Amino acid sequence: MNDKRFKKSLDFVLLSEGGYVNHPNDAGGETNFGITKKVYDMYRKSKNLPAQSVKNISNEEVEEIYYKKYYIASGADKISDDKLALIHFDTAVNMGVSRAGSFLTLSRGNTDKYLKLRKDKYIEFSKRNPAQKVFLQGWLNRLCRLENYIKQHY
């Protein structure tokens, strides 16, 4: 992967995705660097590799999974505006490729509207499912870091 914009975006995403986590309220279950065990198992199977703990994921695997399953799959690579591409990629990672696509369509490429849609969805998640309230402040902090990063770097 020689895409400088992807690598810069991935560096930002990994600031939020951290290391190994297995929170009982997280619907994604066991994750490492934000990659769920389920996604990692599918990736390993597609490479004809045996399943292994997501704790053992390599940096190369992390990069390839994020590039193919989130950056390319979301269409972030086709977005000409670097700010919007980062927001879209980070949203695809955090909320899913499909939801990121909906936000892109609804926002019509307006970054402020896109971020508002994302914030509103976080609040909706926490209201609809009280077990998710434990994540709300972290989600909002991630959004704040994203907004600050964009202001500083674009």
Asked if the model's pLDDT at residue 2 lies above 70, the reply is no
The pLDDT assigned to 52 comes to: 95
pLDDT digits (tens, 9 = 90+) for 82-136: 999 999 999 999 999 999 999 999 999 999 999 999 999 999 999 998 888 888 9
The pLDDT assigned to 1 comes to: 54
What residues does each domain of the chain span? 4-153
Q: What is the mean pLDDT of residues 6-12?
A: 95
The pLDDT assigned to 30 comes to: 87
Classify 4-153 by CATH class.
Answer: mainly alpha
- With b meaning 16 or more CB within 10 Å and e meaning fewer, what string describes 118-152? beebbeeebeeeeebeebeeebeebbeebeebbee
The pLDDT assigned to 17 comes to: 86
pTM of the model: 0.90
Q: Using alpha carbons only, what angle is made at residue 9 by residues 6 and 12, rounded to the nearest 5 degrees?
A: 150
The pLDDT assigned to 47 comes to: 96
